[in-house]
Amino acid sequence: MDTVFESENIRFVKFTEELAQDYLTMVNDIEHVARFIGERRTPYTMEEELEFIRNQKLMQPYTYSMMEKSTGEFIGNTGFMNVKYGEAELGIVITYAKQNAGYGAEAIRSLLTYGWNNLPINRVYLEVYIDNDRAIHLYEKCGFTEFKRTDKDIFMEIISPAREG
C-alpha cells in the first residue's frame, strides 16, 4: 500500500482494492458506523464497494485509508473532498473496533497539517448529523467551529492558522 503521510500512530495510504472487504465491513455496520455517514440502510455489495473505490481514486484524490502503524490493521477512512477555491470538505469514518482509541483526533490534526502544508486550501469545512454528539465534540476539540445549523445537520469550519490574525 502506498503511504502518503504518517502521524505518530497512523499511516495514511491511498485508497486500494486490497482493503475492499475492510471498507465493506465498516460501511455495512449500521448500528455503529453507517447511520452517521448517510441515509442508506441496506447493505452495500462488494461490487458497489469496488465501484466506490474506483470513483474515490479518480474523483477524490485526497482521501485516504488509515492503517494502525503498530499492527497494520485498518482504522478507517479520512480525507479532503471537493477541493476547490481554497476550500475543502473534511470527512472521516472509523471502524467500530478502532473507535475510542484516540485515532479520530490524531487523524484530523494530522490531515489538517498535511492539507495546510501541501494543498491550496485556507478553509476546511464539514457536515455532521446534529445527534452525533461524539463527532461534534471531536471536531470542536480539533478547532472546528459551527457556522450553520439545520434541523438535521451542523456545519463546521476551521481556517488555516496561516490565514488567521
pLDDT in tens, 11-42: 999 999 999 999 989 888 876 665 566 666 67
Q: What is the mean pLDDT of residues 51-67?
A: 91
Q: Measured between alpha carbons, how far is 96 from 32 in angstroms, rounded to an integer?
A: 6
pTM of the model: 0.90
Question: Do 109 and 92 touch, CB atoms closer than 8 A?
Answer: no
Query: What fold does the segment set 3-159 form as a domain?
Result: Aminopeptidase (3.40.630)
Instruction: Tell me the helix, strand and coil percentages in the chain, rounded to 5.
Output: 35, 30, 35
Question: How far is C-alpha 113 from the chain's CA centre?
Answer: 14
* Mean pLDDT, all residues of the chain: 91
Question: Do 162 and 117 touch, CB atoms closer than 8 A?
Answer: no
